[in-house]
Amino acid sequence: MLPKVRKGRTYSRATLDAKLREVLSGVPVDRALDLGGKDAPYRPLVAARRYDLLDLSSTRHPAVVGDAHRLPFRNGTYDLVLATQLLEHCHTPVEVVAEVHRVLRPGGRFVCSVPFIYVIHGDPHDYWRFTAQGLRHLLRDFARVVIWPLGNRWTAIWDLISARPSALKYSNYLLRLVPGLARPNPGCPHGYVALAYKKAEAG
C-alpha cells in the first residue's frame, strides 16, 4: 500500500521557519509575548519561563484576547515579543510597533517577520507589504535592527502559483531538498525576518 502523501506548507513558510529557528534558539528569557501566534508554533524555540499568547480571536484559547494596536500590558513587561506574519494584517502597524517597544524591557528583543511578495490573504484583513527600507523605518525607535531577506524571485513565483488550494502544494516537500533554491536575494525576496533591540538602560 502506498504511503499517504500530504500537502507541504508553502515554500516561503519553510524558509521562514528555518530562519526563526536560528534567531530564536538558545537565548533564555524570563517572559515572552507572541502576538497573533494562533497555535504558537514557535513556542518550542523560545526558552522562556513564561510564554504568553495574544490573539484577536478566542477560538484557540490564547492567554489574552486582545488587539496588538493596544496591548493590555504594563510598560517593560516582556524580554521578547514575537510577531510572525502579523504586521501586514494590522491597519496601523506603526501603532503596533510602538506598543511592542513600550511593553519591552530595556534591552529586550522584538522578532518579527513580514511578506514582500505574496498573495492577498485576509486574516481577517490584509493591508500591507513591506520592503527592507520600510521595515527599518517602522523599527526606527529601536537601538539596533538586523533584517534578513528570505528567498528570491523563484521562491516568490512558486508561492504565487501554489499558495492557494492547489495540487502543486504536494511538491513543497520535494522542493526543500533542492540545494540553494531558497538562496536569499535582497533585490527580490519573498519576505523578511527582523530582529530589533530596545535600548538598554544607561549604566
Is pLDDT above 90 for 197? yes
Read off the pLDDT of residues 69-118 as tens digits, 9 standing for 90 and up: 999 999 999 999 999 999 999 999 999 999 999 999 999 999 999 999 99
Task: Considering only CA atoms, give the Rg of the chain.
Answer: 17
C-beta separation of 66 from 39 below 8 A? no
- What class does CATH assign to 11-197? alpha beta
Residue 170's pLDDT is what?
Answer: 66
- Distance of alpha carbon 111 from alpha carbon 80, whole angstroms: 8
- Nearest CA to 113 among 22, 20, 198? 20
Residue 10's pLDDT is what?
Answer: 74
DSSP letter at 164 equals: S
Other CB atoms within 10 Å distance of the CB of residue 117: 18
The pTM (predicted TM-score) of the whole model is 0.90
- Distance of alpha carbon 72 from alpha carbon 25, whole angstroms: 27
pLDDT band (50, 70, 90) for residue 169? low
Average pLDDT along the chain: 89
Domains of the chain, by residue range, sit at: 11-197
Determine what percent of the chain is predicted with pLDDT higher than 70: 87
**In the block, residue with C-alpha cell 507589504:** 129
Taken in order 126, 131, 132, 136, the sign of the CA dihedral is negative
Q: In sequence order, which residues have a C-beta less than 8 Å from that of residue 91 and are 6 or more positions away?
A: 69, 125, 127
Read off the pLDDT of residues 22-42 as tens digits, 9 standing for 90 and up: 999 878 899 999 999 888 999
Residue 130, burial from CB neighbour count under 10 angstroms (0-12, 13-18, 19+): buried
Grid cell, residue 78, equals: 516582556
